[in-house]
């Protein structure tokens, strides 16, 4: 590519998926010296999430058309992702100085819900702009960039259901059953740092091999703390357990129940009290983002 312009054939306006994820299990095996925690968790995507509209131009600026209340634009993960990719590409000499982009997010996932919405949005920006700008980075390289933005970004970049260790960046592909899930948000926002700094948090679950974990009953070490601190989550988990195996995803606030069929999930969805919001979605082992990318 010449150093003067972005390639002239700009893409048509297309919506890119930024799917939700579930932590089918989440165990905390120790606290690190840097303040983070070592985890063992199982990520699976949902065929539901946010949608991003991304267009490229020669303006030299990154514009976000859909601001998030309370989040300055320069701190928004999608803006940071676009600027990070541009910086890395320009350092490599594969992108001109005037490369720009305009981003818009259609938010379908709640903030602070444990569904990875912000991380997924950032990953979609990295993958889509790598495609549009033809910067040529591998998924492994994009995942490394993504780790600078958040521990969950790499799994969304890589695009396969995964067993994760470390802070969530050491990924091993797995293929859990693609169940149907009813996901409900209790209407509270939960701060991940607040959960991980709670003195009562379980931090010493023994590390186990993947094969053992996949055969054991699934759990979430964050759930006892969250249920104790947030009455709404306690009420939701207790209600949902009456109908199906249910647990917290991530640090919450969303709770999910597992079903073998869509119809079974929707039957319970019809019973959800009006005070709670939710949706039914299929668990998928290949990210909708990567299915979309392969169709481009």
Active site residue ranges: 21, 152
Secondary-structure percent of the chain, ordered helix, strand, coil, rounded to 5: 30, 30, 40
Give the tokens for residue 191: 């701060």
Question: Considering only CA atoms, which of 22, 19, 18, 50 is closest in space to residue 250?
Answer: 22
In the chain, the largest separation of any two C-alpha atoms, in whole Å, equals 62
For tokens 């299990």, name the residue: 25
Q: What is the CA radius of gyration of the chain?
A: 19
Handedness of CA 5, 9, 10, 16 (dihedral sign): negative
**Can you tell me the distance from the alpha carbon of 131 to that of 124, in angstroms, rounded to the nearest whole number?**
11
Distance of CA 289 to the CA centre of its chain: 11
Handedness of CA 239, 50, 73, 155 (dihedral sign): positive
To which H or E segment does residue 192 belong? Answer: helix 192-196
């Amino acid at each position: 590519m010449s150093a003067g312009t972005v390639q002239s054939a700009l893409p048509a306006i297309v919506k890119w998926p930024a799917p939700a994820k579930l932590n089918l299990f989440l165990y905390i095996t120790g606290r690190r010296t840097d303040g983070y925690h070592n985890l063992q968790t199982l990520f699976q995507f949902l065929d539901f999430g946010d949608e991003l509209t991304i267009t490229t131009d020669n303006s030299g600026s990154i514009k976000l058309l859909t601001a998030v209340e309370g989040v300055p634009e320069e701190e928004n993960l999608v803006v940071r992702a676009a600027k990070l990719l541009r910086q890395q590409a320009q350092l490599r000499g594969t992108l001109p100085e005037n490369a720009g982009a305009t981003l818009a997010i259609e938010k379908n996932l709640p903030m602070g819900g444990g569904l990875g919405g912000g991380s997924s949005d950032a990953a979609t920006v990295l993958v889509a702009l790598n495609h549009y700008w033809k910067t040529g980075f591998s998924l492994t390289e994009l995942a490394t960039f993504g780790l600078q933005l958040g521990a969950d970004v790499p799994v969304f970049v890589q695009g396969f259901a995964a067993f994760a260790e470390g802070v969530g960046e050491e990924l091993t592909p797995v293929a859990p059953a693609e169940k149907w899930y009813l996901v409900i948000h209790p209407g509270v926002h939960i701060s991940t740092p607040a959960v991980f700094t709670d003195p009562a948090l379980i931090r010493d679950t023994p590390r186990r091999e993947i094969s053992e974990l996949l055969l054991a009953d699934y759990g979430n070490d964050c759930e006892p703390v969250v249920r104790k601190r947030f009455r709404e989550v306690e009420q939701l988990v207790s209600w949902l357990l009456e109908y199906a195996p249910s647990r917290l995803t991530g640090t919450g606030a969303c709770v999910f129940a597992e079903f073998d069929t869509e119809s079974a999930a929707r039957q319970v969805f019809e019973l959800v009290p009006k005070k709670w919001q939710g949706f039914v979605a299929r668990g998928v082992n290949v990210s909708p983002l990567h299915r979309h990318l392969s169709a481009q």
